[in-house]
Structure 1
Amino acid sequence: MDATEEISQENAFYDRDGAAKIHNRIQKRQQALAEDAERRKDAKKSQSVGEEKSEYFLRTFNAERAGIQELLTGCSGADRPVVTQKLEEATAKMTQLQKFLNDSVIFLSQYEIRVAQSALQKLQTSLSETREEALPKKKFAFRSRTKAAEVSDCPPPPETAGSGVTKLDGAAVSKQADFSNISDEYLTKTSEELQNRDVLLTHLTNCKVRLYGSPSTLHLKHINACEILCGPVATSVFVDHCSNSILAFPCQQMRTHNTTDTQVYLHVTSRAIIEDCLGVSFAPFCWSYPTLDQDFSASGLDRDRNNWSQVDDFNWLAAGTPSPNWTVIPEEDRKTTWDP
């Protein structure tokens, strides 16, 4: 082979090698373009799915909000039992709507979350205003702190004004059972004093309270360092400004505001709601007294349904992350002995 042929073959080799390199570069470029196109496609699909979820949330949220507002509007001029039923239904729907928002924050924008939360707060204000207007709090008179058996020799009751209201010195007052502005005492109410009544405990400090019976509702306000045990509450328990206390009761629903460092031994057939609370802990209801079974029957509560550990925190929107404002009481730390 002469030099000319050798050079020709060498050139042919380099031509083939160059062509192969060019071909490889083209393939890599095409692959990169295809991968980039796929990424754009996936991003567009993800954005589309997010937009669809957001649109679904807005449609559902607005429809549910309108339904709650319709319930509140229907309270105007309605009879008390109808109003009570509508308000309970509206409260339950509010809880569900808050949970729906909590579960949806993962794909909502911060703006959408703020708008929805603002709408919920306005709806809650409307609910409270409707409750105050349609079911105004009854006036009440302070009553003796003794048991009914200890006042059997009292004079006959004042004349009745109808609908569970009595007249006292010409003024109408409710038959609401209450304790108010008391410190360092052991307080009790009997079943006869509580049955189907609204119970208000307010401004109590370092008291032990035992409520034997089935009241209609239970309101606890400004409670400090107290131990309050109550029989089955037919509807709702409302707790506000409670601190360093132990509470125990069965109920249909529980709403707690502005409460700190408080243990709740709970039987609740819907869900417990907390708002502006810190250091609240929960365990299942375990207090017992001789007529508890009868009081459960009178209340209409389902003894087999207890959602004591399902707590909704209206101040906590992080879906999938537990609220730091409440905990479950460890079994070894739960109170089991209540009375000497």
Structure 2
Amino acid sequence: MDKTNQELSQEFYIHFNAAQSELASRANELNLGSTDSKALQQLSTDFAKLRKELTDATSFLPSYDQRQCELRLKEVEGSLEKLRTAAAPKPKFAFKRKAKTSTTSPSPSSTSSASKVAPITSALVDVSSSTPSSFAGVTLSGRSHEFLDLSSLPPVVSATDLIISDLDHCVVYMLSETRSKDGVARDVKITALHARNIRNSVLIMPVIDGSALLHDLSRCVLALGCHQYRMHSSTQTDVYISLASNPIIEHCKGIRFTKYPRYLHSAGDELPSNLAVQDFSHIRPTPSPNWSNLPEGSIPPEESWPKHGDSDNVEVDRVLQRLLPSST
């Protein structure tokens, strides 16, 4: 049976992370010691091989993952350039004979031609970016102590990637049928979620068709259903999730997982959930110390969560107090 794009993406991501980490480690070893020309050549060859593999994977790899892989390759490429510069032979010093000064004045035509010749330069434009604003979608950014629901999105939007960044002490409630201030119900299809730099906040999301990619969450609660879940550089966050594949975390600590609450899903059915978490920072047979299952006794009751139509009456601080994990 042919593998799905999701399965191919997961396999490639695991392979890429291991290969990139190895390349970075080898580059660091060469940088600390004397530069070995053979080792540097082999490193360059392996780097080119991994870049080609990334190019070949673009047919099934999501665009966000492609950008993230490119950023990590650029880190290794920068180290390689430094090593090549250090290994390059130094030019030998030599006296140069001073050229004779011409007594003939240049003709006006030759002067004019020379002034029109400009030095040729090249510039590399970095089209990838680690900031969420580089993605096409609606952005919620730079908010503090606010309740944000579908009425916070532009009224013309019916389907979009949602980009959330730089929030502190906020409640984000993106379930459908939320009533805006003018009393009109909204139903926006969220195709993917990108979140970065979220602090002390609760994100309540629907079941989305695409992937959820999260960076730098600290003391948060996240509830969502998605097809692919990846979390990086996050701490002390409770994740209520419905997922057909394995969640992936990296450089995380204190992450607790449990099932997506059935009372948050409009259909009212319990959604499938797979909690076999893959921790890329703990590639060992022993259990990862960076995540755990959320104990049943620590799950807040249904009345602690905001409900449809509560946008005008939500007390943000009270919701945060009820849902956020205890400070450590």
Normalising by structure 2, report the TM-score. 0.51
Aligned to 1:305: 272
Asked if 1:118 is matched to 2:22, the reply is yes
Match of 2:145 among 174, 180, 184: 184
Report how far residue 287 of structure 1 moved. 5.6
Report how far residue 271 of structure 1 moved. 1.1
1:44-94 Cα shifts (integer Å, max 9, x gaps): xxxxxxxxxxxxxxxxxxxxxxxx9xxxxxxxxxxxxxxxx85x4542223
Q: Is the 8 A contact 1:222 1:241 kept in 2?
A: yes
In 1: Cα distance, 2:235 partner to 2:135 partner: 31
Match of 2:239 among 246, 250, 264: 264
Provide structure 1 residue ranges, at least 5 long, that are not aligned to the other structure: 1-67, 69-84, 102-113, 142-172, 297-302
In 2: Cα distance, 1:258 partner to 1:130 partner: 19
One-letter code of the match for 1:220?
A
SS at match of 1:215: strand
CA RMSD after TM alignment: 4.1
Provide structure 2 residue ranges, at least 5 long, that are not aligned to the other structure: 26-46, 55-60, 71-126, 176-187, 308-328
**1:304–1:262 CA distance, 2 compared to 1 (3 A):** closer
In 1: Cα distance, 2:209 partner to 2:65 partner: 23
**1:183–1:323 CA distance, 2 compared to 1 (3 A):** same
In 2: Cα distance, 1:310 partner to 1:194 partner: 35
In 1: Cα distance, 2:231 partner to 2:135 partner: 25
Aligned to 1:17: none
Q: Is the 8 A contact 1:286 1:336 kept in 2?
A: no
Match of 2:267 among 290, 293, 310: 293
In 2: Cα distance, 1:333 partner to 1:115 partner: 39
Larger radius of gyration: 1
1:279-305 Cα shifts (integer Å, max 9, x gaps): 011010006357x239x9xxxxxx753
Q: Is the 8 A contact 2:218 2:234 kept in 1?
A: yes
Q: Is the 8 A contact 1:214 1:232 kept in 2?
A: no
Q: Is the 8 A contact 1:229 1:247 kept in 2?
A: yes
One-letter code of the match for 1:332?
G
Asked if 1:199 is matched to 2:162, the reply is yes
**1:174–1:240 CA distance, 2 compared to 1 (3 A):** closer
In 2: Cα distance, 1:323 partner to 1:205 partner: 28
Specify which structure has the bigger relative contact order, considering alpha-carbon pairs within 8 angstroms and separated by 6 or more residues. Answer: 2
One-letter code of the match for 1:242?
L
Report how far residue 243 of structure 1 moved. 0.2
Q: Is the 8 A contact 2:150 2:174 kept in 1?
A: yes
Match of 1:240 among 211, 215, 220: 215
Q: How does 1:99-114 map to 2 (within 5 A)?
A: none
Asked if 1:273 is matched to 2:238, the reply is no
Asked if 1:93 is matched to 2:54, the reply is no
One-letter code of the match for 2:166?
H
Aligned to 1:231: 206
Identity across matched positions, percent: 24
In 2: Cα distance, 1:284 partner to 1:136 partner: 34
SS at match of 2:282: coil
Q: How does 1:20-59 map to 2 (within 5 A)?
A: none
Report how far residue 233 of structure 1 moved. 1.3
**1:239–1:116 CA distance, 2 compared to 1 (3 A):** closer
Report how far residue 197 of structure 1 moved. 1.1
**1:90–1:195 CA distance, 2 compared to 1 (3 A):** farther
Report how far residue 120 of structure 1 moved. 11
In 2: Cα distance, 1:201 partner to 1:312 partner: 24
In 2: Cα distance, 1:285 partner to 1:252 partner: 13
Asked if 1:323 is matched to 2:241, the reply is no
Report how far residue 339 of structure 1 moved. 1.8
1:298-328 Cα shifts (integer Å, max 9, x gaps): xxxxx75321x21000011221x11000010
Report how far residue 174 of structure 1 moved. 8.5
Match of 1:209 among 172, 175, 180: 172
In 2: Cα distance, 1:221 partner to 1:189 partner: 19
Aligned to 2:324: none
